[in-house]
Structure formats: structure tokens, C-alpha cells
Amino acid sequence: MKRSTSNPSTRGILMSSNTRSNDFCCRIEIASSPSAAETTEYPSLCNSLLRTLRSASSSSTRASTSEGTVHPAERRRPAPALARLLVSVLLLAGALAPSEAPAQDKTSPVVVRVFTLKFRRAEDAAALVRPLLSENGSVLLHARPNTLTVRDVAPAVQRTAQALSSFDVPPRPLSITVTLLKASAAQAPGAARRPLPPELKRVGERLGKLFNFHALSAVDTVLVQGTEGDSVGHDLGEEHRLEFLLQPSDDPDVARLQNLVLSRVRREGASERSREVVRASINVPLGPPYVLGVGRDESAATALFLVFVAHGAPEGPGPGIAGVR
């Protein structure tokens, strides 16, 4: 079967939002369209978020300019949405602030130690080790036989050994259920509607409250089983295909889906044409549903949602990828 893939211009993220509760996580991504011809299929998922931010901003402005006496504490209190945004900005600034290198203990002897990695790449381990070294420390990478040579004072080498012991672990087997949902503001007359699986009804209710979508149907559900490091792919219904890499994760409670691509597939006889709908890399917490919404602009009335439910699979070789119809 021939396969030809169109090459649209680079897609940017216009807006993303994360909301989390005890059993629900939602990330909204809007990709810019490469051409005007492709802007009619998937709408904005963020119009309600934008309205919330705008109304909060205007409310804050009115409070500061209205007549009458305003208590000083009230004048200084930001609107809830803006307060959350401010906290996010401050947290981001703190995360991006350069951390100080560990102080070098000049009285400690210099130690040279070679670390051989069994499960992770030496290139990835080197990126982990460098921030742990002192000012005069060094790390030498040997791609073959996948080793690192670390030269530094004893405390820094000890930190390196501890970090690598947690980092160089066997890849985990994972089991991820993926459901593709199609949402619209209103149910089309005579259109067939596939009900949501029972375990996703609560997700559908929350999405309906968060966005202006009243008709939500399940397009397809697949079960993906693999091991960290595997590249997987599966058709979702007759018109979409999902591909991603199960990237090794340092967090045992998170499944990392790297270079995730959802494509729209059109088949004509023996040939196949695909167009990329969205590309992202996401961290899916083990257990609760994780929702990735895909939209294009603020005015359209339909959208797609990908719902991921990830679990650690039993030890041993997995059965591969199985479709659940």
C-alpha cells in the first residue's frame, strides 16, 4: 500500500491549559492551521478559557476605577483567574531560574569513576549528570560501550552515583487505553451517535460543562501495550491514526508520550494520504483519565478529544497492540 504524507507548514501552539482534580486531568492544545482550506474541521476549545481571562481582567479594571470607597485589601486582590495565572507565571519563573552549581569542597580529593549503563543511553545520562558536578568537574561520554567517565571531588561523584542508580533502570511495560471522541455544539439530525464507554461518562459530563459541546460521541477505542522505548501506532476509526513514542520516564507515576501525532487519513483504493492534525508530547499520569483536546479557532462548533488512561502493565513481554472495538 502506497502512503503519501502532506507536508504542512510548522504548526504552533496558540494556547494550552491544564486543569487537574483528584480523578481528572485536561490539557487543551490549539494548533495553527497551515492553510485556510484546513481551518473548518476542528474548532477552538479555549473560547471559554479566553472569556474567563477577559472577564476577570475587565472585572479587575472596573473594580479599580469604580466610584465609592474600596477597601485597600480588596483593591489589591486580583481576580481569581488572574491570580491563578500570576501564580503559574511565578512558578514558571522559579523553575526557569538558574540553579547554583554545588559548591566545591576544595579539601576533598579528586576522584575518577567510570559508570556503565545497562538500560539508558549514555547521552541521556550525561545530561542528568552535568548539573550535579562542581565547578571543575567533568564528564566524558563514551557511546560505545555506553559509559560515562566522571572526574570530580568525592561528594560530587557520590551524588552522580546515586542519581544514576535511580536513572538506569529497566524500561517499564505500560498499558494505555486511548479513546477518540468527537464533540459538537449540537447533534446533527439523523446522525449516528456512538455512546461513551461507561468509564468515560464522567469525563464527558465535565467536558460538556467546560466547553460549549452538547453532543459527544466515541469514534473508537484502542488498547496499546508496550515497553518504554517502543514506537507504537494504531488506527482510530476509519479516518484517523495515532502514533507516539513511549519515552522512558524518571517519574514512576507518569507515562511519557513523545512525538505524539494524530493524523487524518484518506484512503483511495490502494493509496493512502494523511494530513497531520496535531503534534504534541505529553506526560500522562498513571490512573486518572488525561484529555487532549484538538481545535483550530474560536468560532467553529466541532472538536476532537483524545482520552488516555495509562497503567503499569504486568512484568514480562506484552501482547503488543490490540484493538478494542
User: Phi then psi for 25, rounded to 5 degrees?
Assistant: -135, 135
In a domain, 247, yes or no: yes
**What is the Cα–Cα distance from 137 to 111, expressed in whole angstroms?**
10
For residue 146, give the DSSP letter. T
If you average pLDDT over each of 95-104, 151-160, 243-252, which comes out highest? 151-160
In a domain, 83, yes or no: no
pLDDT confidence of residue 211: 74
pLDDT tens digits along 95-125: 444 444 455 556 678 999 999 999 888 998 9
* Statement to judge: residues 153 and 190 lie in one domain: no
**Count of all residues that appear for the chain in the document:** 325
Question: Residue 211: which of 240, 181, 190, 177 has the closest Cα?
Answer: 181
* Statement to judge: residues 137 and 263 lie in one domain: no
* Statement to judge: residues 136 and 210 lie in one domain: no
pLDDT confidence of residue 303: 82
Q: Are 30 and 295 in contact (CB under 8 A)?
A: yes
Higher-confidence residue: 305 or 296? Answer: 305
In a domain, 56, yes or no: no
Q: Answer yes or no: is pLDDT of 282 > 90.
A: yes
pLDDT confidence of residue 296: 63
Question: Average of pLDDT values for 222-231?
Answer: 92
Last residue of a domain, one of 146, 167, 188: 167
pLDDT confidence of residue 271: 82
Question: How many Cβ atoms sit within 10 Å of the Cβ of residue 278?
Answer: 21
**What is the Cα–Cα distance from 49 to 120, expressed in whole angstroms?**
40
pLDDT confidence of residue 188: 59
pLDDT confidence of residue 111: 93
* Statement to judge: residues 181 and 312 lie in one domain: yes
Last residue of a domain, one of 132, 167, 202: 167
Higher-confidence residue: 205 or 56? Answer: 205
Question: Average of pLDDT values for 206-233?
Answer: 85
In a domain, 91, yes or no: no
pLDDT confidence of residue 315: 52
What is the percent of the chain where pLDDT is above 70? 58
Question: Average of pLDDT values for 213-236?
Answer: 89
Q: Are 39 and 68 in contact (CB under 8 A)?
A: no
- Residue 147: give the domain boundaries: 120-167
**What is the Cα–Cα distance from 153 to 110, expressed in whole angstroms?**
4
**Residue 275 burial by CB count (10 A; 0-12/13-18/19+): exposed, middle or buried?**
middle
* Statement to judge: residues 194 and 278 lie in one domain: yes
pLDDT confidence of residue 270: 79
pTM assigned to the model: 0.59
pLDDT confidence of residue 204: 80
Q: Are 45 and 183 in contact (CB under 8 A)?
A: no
The two counts, helices (H) then strands (E), for the chain are: 6, 15
* Statement to judge: residues 149 and 186 lie in one domain: no
* Statement to judge: residues 209 and 315 lie in one domain: yes
In a domain, 98, yes or no: no
Q: Answer yes or no: is pLDDT of 139 > 60.
A: yes
pLDDT confidence of residue 284: 95
Distance from chain centroid for Cα 261? 12
Higher-confidence residue: 54 or 39? Answer: 54
Question: Average of pLDDT values for 254-283?
Answer: 90
Query: How many separate domains does the chain show?
Result: 2
* Statement to judge: residues 193 and 163 lie in one domain: no
* Statement to judge: residues 142 and 291 lie in one domain: no
Which of 42-51, 176-185, 186-195 is the least confident region? Answer: 42-51
- Of the pLDDT bands very low, low, confident and very high (cuts 50, 70, 90), residue 183 is confident
* Statement to judge: residues 161 and 255 lie in one domain: no
**What is the Cα–Cα distance from 284 to 18, expressed in whole angstroms?**
12
* Statement to judge: residues 154 and 185 lie in one domain: no
For residue 189, give the DSSP letter. T
pLDDT confidence of residue 208: 74
In whole numbers, what is the pLDDT of the chain averaged over residues? 70
* Statement to judge: residues 208 and 223 lie in one domain: yes
